[in-house]
Each structure stands twice: as structure tokens, then as C-alpha cells.
Chains A and B, each alone.
Chain A
């Protein structure tokens, strides 16, 4: 237990350092981009200069960097937006990161749930029509980018279903309150998670096929255990190890994939800031978004690593 806590503490520190390193790199990168936040056809050069001065953006970059890092490390303050003036970035990014995490977590449920279901079903019904159907679905899911799936789902459940039912029953784009509601979350989460579910399904199927041919599975069956017990308790648990191994990269894919999905479904998460803040040269938002993503990915990876010992007792921290 003590070892685990130490491990979590170390990893958390590492995540914090990684986030700080990311914010430093992005700080330098975004300030090196040509153009600035206050360029407009209407602004005269003197007016533009006045705005740069007001926001301290005319100071030497090193001074800006020093002040930015001091505020970030000591106060957790990312400053304020220059494109949307008066908006404090830390609470904005924190709120949007939790929305993205919410969608990501829901997507992960689809990824794991559907992936395991399809994989196990395909393995225990190998070479049957069930196996072929699920394999075909997996190939299609994995071959299609998430924005194609998202657009297709929107077309089917949002528009066709609305027309079919005369507007009585359909998926409505939108977001209720800070964190939406289950009906709003489920379709974007599916679009985000389904391609990875297909990947998990293929991996699970292959892994299960290998495991269920092992001697200990034959032994379990020989001693009269019910098939469900054999599959769930003995086969699946071992088949899960390679699946858990790839969860880390999958989580990263899901988190970064949310950029597109959030924009398509109008979800107020981190993703919708991603492109616009770069185009707006909204320096601190860009830094905040990248830092938020770095922290989110770090925490997701940590969570995955903490799941390992639950699946494989040989792994300890």
C-alpha cells in the first residue's frame, strides 16, 4: 500500500513537471508564431500598440515568460484571454477539461465494453456468422475516422430519425448545463469510442482464442465448471492483459480525438478551444489547452497503470 502511494505520488509529480514543460514549450512556440492577438483591419498601429501594452505583450519575451511561470507555479493562474477579454483561463480550462474528461470517460466505456463484448463473442463463436458479423463491424469501425462516424450518426439519429418520427424521437445536438446529460453524451461518446472499440475487439478476440486453447482452460472445463465461469473468470481475465497494455495509447487517442468530436457535436470542452485559440493568437488559452491536455493524458495513463495490478497480480508498485 505504501509502495503504491509512493508510486502515485511520483507519477503525479511527473505529470506536473510534464505539464509545466509542455506549457513552457507551447509558450515559446505560440509567441514565435507570426501575427498577434490584436490585429484587425480597423485597428490603427498606435491603437494596436496600446492594446499590446495594456496586456503586457510588448514586454521582452523572457520577462513575459518569467511572470507567466511565476503565476502558474505559485498561483495556478494561467492569466486571462486576450481574444475573449476578461475571461480567466484557469477556471475555463479546468471546466472544459472536466467536460472533455467526461466525454472521454464515456467513450472509454464504449471502447472497453463493446470491445470486450465483440471480442469475446467472436472468440467463443469462432468462424460462426456471429464471428464474421462482429469482425466485419470491427474492421469497418477501425477503418473509419471518428469524424466520419460522428457525421453519419448525426445524419441517422439526428436528422433521418427526426424526419421519420415527425420530430418526436431523435438525437438533439446540444449541451445542458455545465456537464450535459446522458442523452446528450451518449452519441458523441459512441462516435469517439467506437473506432477504438473495434481495435479492442480484434485484440480481445485474438487473445481469447489463444487463452481458451490453454491447458488450464481445458482443466477448468474438465472439473465441471460452468462455461460462463470458465470464460469470464479464467479465460477473460488472462486475455485482458494485452488489452490493458494498449489502453494507455487508446486513452491518448480518445482524448485527442475529442477535438473533432466536440466541435461536431457543439460540446463545450477543451477541444473547441484548440484550433480557434491558435488562430486568434490567444496565447494563454493555447498554453492552457495544451497544458490541460498534457495533464489529462498523464492522469489517464496513471489510471490505466493502476489498473494493471488488478488484472495481473504479478505487477506491483
Chain B
């Protein structure tokens, strides 16, 4: 009783509750929401996660940006750049009124500096500049970040791409080594290598400038105002920001809470205005089900497709550097490997898998090819033959390719268990292959860190695989997953798949403007389907919670809507 009394006393004074709502703005324009971890880095040259980019997109701008509908529109640039007739030279004109929040004016030299800096550091997205002349001359073993900074200050050619120039303060010229229809999409990727940083500030602390409110300088609508590592971060709207719409929300407070259910509970208690934002839209399925069954919460839930496809990967190549081998390998003059892959594909009821694993909420069956629904390159609903379920045909294929069952004995499916869905998927696959194909497979969990390393070096016969698109262009999928550009067959390549037809089509597609390239990319999808290079499983759906009084908050397939579009209504 005494304990209960104390606990009741603790609850005193901590209240939430909602009042009546009007369309008037609240006097306190502060948004609060939880995120799951502290930032990896907000430095656009190094940022390599959705979570960091979701936040940093409010701090930094590039010449172009994706609008809400994923069209490329001018940002710091005054207009979409002119492209020369040979398809090699882009000329960007800058807006004259853009400044960093510290008052420094943005000039074309800042753009060239930022791009060279990002390319020279060889971060994860430095390859967004791989089409620019001179990128291939940069060292793949870069010197320390501080040394790069010193070299950039001296205009040292070892850290500069020869294709970039700034003929005057408001013009940037980018000359490509070869035509690349995808390049504008790549440099438009928010909070990444295409963003503009302030050399004056960065050069004073090249590694950690972005960690402190005083030096985390960008051109975005918000700036960092306080940070307690591992605990919380605050942002404030930049006064007299040059862009539009001008921010209504003045303060944004993020708390770092690791546990997804705790984040949701705190949101429901009224501590936060949003949940699922900042790259943490992976609410627990049980929580989403509960929310859907609670009248007062259901309307606050937003389920929106995100840009991730999950599939089963096979090892398709056997050579000295790939240790996996296995029955799915393509051998000259034999279709056994391909038939087995098809048998395993047809034996999975994808709709049943999505319903069982995701409760029909956080994923949908992948029926339109490798590229997620809603993105350029999507083949259309129910167009992927690998997504079909046909147990009889699967058994027939298995019988012809592996009559005595010796090839498919002792198979192991490997997955990384950190994402609970991966374990559920693995168990469902094991069950379906056993039921529909009569093949018993073992499951092996491997920690994510080691899993990624092993599967990109061809150590698994079959495993969980997936890709989250970076920008809305098919090149992002085909250059990074299959073929020689990705590193196949032996480096950085899960399946090992490449073929002369694939290489020829990819080269052709990558060089064309998007409209002309799309049919060729669709042929590439068909090549992957014809070779049964994957078993499509599902497309991911993100879950977001938004209080009724927060106007403008939301998401598109790729990113959270920018904070400067939010408003807090009276509540």
C-alpha cells in the first residue's frame, strides 16, 4: 500500500490530455519526437543512414532537391541546370540570396568545395560523383579528413575532380566523364554528398564540425541549438531563412529512446507530438495492431509505403573467391541451378508470408519486380512471375532438377536477427518450403555486422537480402546490386550475378536521360527475372503516428516532410 501510495504520488502533476482543437496556431510552436539512436554523423560527406539523413535534410541544402512528389526541383540553384548537347556538361546557376545560417553567403566556390570534399573522403555516397570527370583519379585510400581539408585549401588536384569548376560566383559547371542520366538524381539525394557546407567553418574542425551547435552550419531552415550526446538534440528555426515556406515551427526537440515500444508508449502518453519520424518508422507490429483497434489512436496512424524491397538471395556463381557454392549455381550447359531457384520461388505463397509476418500492415507482397512500388522502374502489380505461387509446378521443377533430393539436402538459409521481421520471415520460408516443396532447410542467424560482410563476399548459399532505395532512379538498384559496376561476381556482390546482356543494357540505360532509360531498365528487370536472380518477398511499409494538432507532418516514399512545412495547431 505504501508503495502504491508513493507511485500514485509520483504520478501527481504529470498529465497530458487533449483539449478542443481549432485551426489557430498554438502559441508554442515546438515539435517533439523520439528517435532510436544518436546520429552516426550529420556530415553530408559521410552520412550513411536514413536516420541521419532524415534529420540532416532540415539543416543542409543542395543545388536541387526532390519535392514531395519526388520531382527534381531547384533548391540553391536558380533553375534546373542546362545540359550540353553531348550530354556531358551541366551548368548550374545559383540563387543570389542563399546564405548559411551564420550569415556567410553561398557561392559557386562553396559548391565545388563541398562536392570535392565529399568525393575525396570516399564516404558511402561518394560514388554519387562517379560520373564526374576526374572522380576516378581520386585515391580510393584517402588521407585523413584533416589532410584532405588542407589539400583542398591549397586547391591540390589530388583531392579535386577535374570536371568541376566555378567560372564565377554564381555558376557551377560539372563536366561528366560519360553521359549519366542518373547523376542529377544522385546529387539531389538529401543530406548527402551533394549538399553544401561552409568551408570557413569546416576547415577549423574538419571531423567534428557538425557535432556542435556553434559549428554545425548549413543552409537549411533549422540549425542545431543544443545536443547532449546519447540523450537529446534540439533544433531551432533559422531566423530570416532564405527559402520557403518560412518555418512556423520554431523548435524541434528529439529524445533518444532505444526501445520502439517505449517510444510509442511515450507518444501515446502525450510526451511527443510525433512517432516513427527521423527514420524510425519501424513501429512494432503488435503496437500498430493495438493502435488500429483503439478508436482514439487509429486516426493518428499513417501507414505509408517505404522504398525497401526484401527478397531471398541465391549464390549463383562458383569461383575461387566465392566460398558458398551450393545447388543454385549456374553451370554451363545445365539449367539445374535456375530450375531449382524457380522451384524455390514458386513454392512460396508471398501473400501468406506478408500476412503472417507483417499482419498485412508493415509490408505488402512484392509482385511488381525488384524495384519497390511507387518508384520509377516498378514493373506494375502482379507482373513479376517470380512472385507467383504454384506449388505443383515448384515440385515438378524440383523433381527434374534434383530427382534424388541430394542437391537440396542440408541447405541453410542465413538471416540477421536484429530486425525481428527477418526471423519471422526465415521461419515462414522454412515452413513453406517444407510444406510446399518437401525440402527441409536449416536456419542460421548471424549478427548484422558479420552478416552483411559475409553475404557481400559470397559466403551464403541462400540468405535474406534487401535494398532500400536512396533516390528515385532505377540506376540506384541496378548499379549497386548486380553486375560489374556493383563489383560482381566477386566483390560486394551477394548473388555473383552478371551477364554480357546485363552489362550491355546497364551501360546503355545509365547513359540515357530517364525517360529514354526507363524501358531499358525494365529490360534489365526482365533479365533478372529470366535468370531467377532473386525471390521477391515483400515491399516495406512505414508506420507513423501524428497528433491531430500537427499539421503538415507526414512522409512520402523516401523521406519525412521537412519540418518547415509543419504547424502546431491549438490543442
Contacts and interface: CB of A to CB of B under 8 A. Distances in A.
Nearest to B480: A42
A50 B126 CA distance: 12
A308 interface: no
Contacts of B127: 44
A194 B11 CA distance: 18
B269 A42 contact: no
Interface string A44-73: 111101110110000000000000000000
Interface string B276-313: 00000000000000000000000000000000000000
Given A183-B13, A276-B258, A50 B142 contact: yes
A246 interface: no
B269 A166 contact: no
A171 B10 contact: yes
Contact of A194 (B3, B41, B480): B3
Interface in B23-58: 34, 37-41, 43, 46, 48-49
Contacts of B466: 41
Nearest to B13: A183
Contacts of A187: 7, 10
B467 interface: yes
A44 B125 CA distance: 10
Given A178-B231, A266-B259, A268-B230, 13 more contacts: A41-B456, A42-B125, A49-B141, A83-B40, A84-B229, A95-B228, A161-B11, A171-B10, A172-B15, A174-B255, A175-B231, A265-B262, A268-B228
B6 A190 contact: yes
A133 to B, nearest CB: 10
B452 to A, nearest CB: 5
A170 B11 contact: yes
Given A47-B124, A157-B11, A170-B15, A114 B3 contact: yes
Contacts of B228: 95, 178, 268
Interface string A110-148: 100010010000000000000000000000000000000
A39 B452 contact: yes
Question: Contact size class for A?
Answer: 35 or more
A42 B48 contact: yes
B123 interface: yes
A92 B230 contact: yes
B124 A172 contact: no
B194 to A, nearest CB: 15
Contacts of B211: 85-87
B244 interface: no
B141 A53 contact: yes
A40 B124 contact: yes
Nearest to A114: B3
B447 A87 contact: no
Contact of B11 (A45, A85, A169, A273): A169
Interface residues of B, number: 76
Nearest to B259: A263
A34 B447 contact: yes
Given A50-B122, A84-B38, A178-B228, A154 B448 contact: no
Interface string B459-496: 00000001110100000000010000001000110000
B14 interface: yes
B229 A87 contact: yes
Nearest to A89: B229
Interface in A152-193: 153-154, 157-159, 161-162, 165-175, 178, 182-183, 186-187, 190
A43 interface: yes
B449 interface: yes
B266 A174 contact: yes
Contacts of A37: 449
A279 interface: yes
A290 B502 CA distance: 50
Contact of A172 (B230, B255, B269): B269
Closest 8 CB pairs of A and B: A35-B449, A167-B17, A35-B450, A86-B211, A186-B10, A34-B450, A266-B257, A86-B208
Nearest to A82: B40
A264 B259 contact: yes
Contacts of B125: 42
Contacts of B468: 41
B125 to A, nearest CB: 7
A268 B231 contact: yes
